[in-house]
């Protein structure tokens, strides 16, 4: 399959300081974190890779897809002035931005599975990973969106792509510009509000594929919490009504979140 290389987006339209595209790397998140550790200011910097050989997910899970079949990027975000309690909303707002960009560009309606996946029905269309460049208030948020990935190429049978979903628009340049525009707008509002504002919280609830469903949260050691996902709190944590109590779990608490049935 012939796949067209990405072009740099017009920075005049998007409030970013720098955008780089590399042909291949291990992980764009790891690269941006390394650049920060070396003394570079990565706030407002985007790194895109046509291929990631060691793309990272939560809990150290790896992910790889054929070159130019995805949009894989990481963005350095300035969290100065945002209390650490609000940082958990950065991957959540990234999910909202990604769902909106995909819908606006392709018409595909996706949902956000707490804490970091974008789903269409049960198929995983995209994943998100945020990592803090400790000890500084800088967060690297990464995402990988499957665009022309085929079923034969998918590293996981649960994966889907815009092409597999029948999207008529598969131009990655158009998608990239839409994603960066939505993402920078959401991040700007998060920075100004110093955390999630009421609009972001409501938008997340409307786009959530988790809230209202019965879920099973698998914890380290294989303990489980099962019940109905009822809310997202101010810290970005998930509230689960077990029938006897409302348990609250953070993204760092769980190994997996799965449907209970």
- Average pLDDT of the residues in 110-137: 96
pLDDT attached to residue 61: 58
Whether residues 201 and 242 fall in one domain: no
Quick check: 220 pLDDT over 90? no
pLDDT attached to residue 57: 56
Q: pLDDT class for 201, splitting at 50, 70, 90?
A: very high
Q: Is residue 30 part of a domain?
A: yes
Q: Is residue 4 part of a domain?
A: no
The total of structural domains in the chain comes to: 2
Whether residues 51 and 65 fall in one domain: yes
Whether residues 231 and 171 fall in one domain: no
Whether residues 233 and 131 fall in one domain: no
Mean pLDDT of the residues in the chain: 94
Quick check: 64 pLDDT over 60? yes
131-162, pLDDT tens digit by residue?
999 999 999 999 999 999 999 998 888 999 99
Quick check: 28 pLDDT over 60? yes
Q: Is residue 11 part of a domain?
A: no
pLDDT attached to residue 155: 82
- Average pLDDT of the residues in 204-210: 97
Domain of residue 233 covers 211-259
8 Å CB contact between 62 and 173:
no
User: Do the strands 138-146 and 18-22 form a parallel or antiparallel pair, or are they unpaired?
Assistant: unpaired
pLDDT attached to residue 60: 53
Edge-to-edge strands of the sheet including 45-49? 18-22, 45-49, 70-78, 138-146, 123-132, 117-120, 111-113
Whether residues 195 and 224 fall in one domain: no
Whether residues 22 and 149 fall in one domain: yes
Q: Is residue 5 part of a domain?
A: no
Q: Residue 249: give its domain's CATH number.
A: 2.30.30.100
- Average pLDDT of the residues in 191-210: 97
Q: Is residue 9 part of a domain?
A: no
């Amino acid at each position: 399959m012939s796949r067209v290389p990405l072009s740099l987006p017009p920075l005049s339209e998007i409030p970013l300081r720098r955008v780089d595209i590399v042909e291949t790397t291990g992980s764009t998140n790891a690269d941006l974190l390394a650049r920060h550790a070396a003394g570079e200011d990565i706030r407002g910097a985007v790194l895109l890779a046509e291929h990631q050989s060691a793309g990272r997910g939560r809990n150290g899970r790896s992910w790889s897809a054929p070159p130019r079949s995805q949009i894989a990027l990481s963005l350095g975000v300035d969290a100065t002035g945002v209390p650490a309690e609000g940082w958990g909303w950065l991957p959540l707002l990234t999910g909202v931005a990604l769902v909106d960009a995909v819908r606006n560009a392709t018409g595909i309606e996706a949902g956000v599975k707490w804490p970091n996946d974008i789903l269409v029905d049960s198929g995983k269309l995209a994943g998100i990973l945020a990592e803090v460049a400790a000890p500084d208030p800088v967060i690297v948020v990464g995402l990988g969106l499957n665009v022309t990935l085929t079923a034969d190429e998918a590293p996981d049978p649960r994966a889907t792509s815009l092409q597999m979903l029948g999207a008529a628009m598969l131009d990655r340049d158009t998608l990239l510009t839409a994603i960066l525009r939505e993402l920078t707008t959401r991040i700007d509002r998060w920075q100004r509000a110093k955390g999630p504002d009421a609009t972001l919280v409501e938008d997340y609830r409307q786009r959530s594929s988790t809230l209202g469903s019965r879920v099973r949260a698998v914890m380290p050691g294989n303990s489980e919490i099962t019940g109905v996902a009822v809310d997202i709190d101010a810290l970005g944590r998930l509230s689960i009504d077990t029938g006897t109590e409302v348990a609250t779990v953070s993204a760092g608490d769980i190994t997996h979140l799965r449907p209970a049935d």
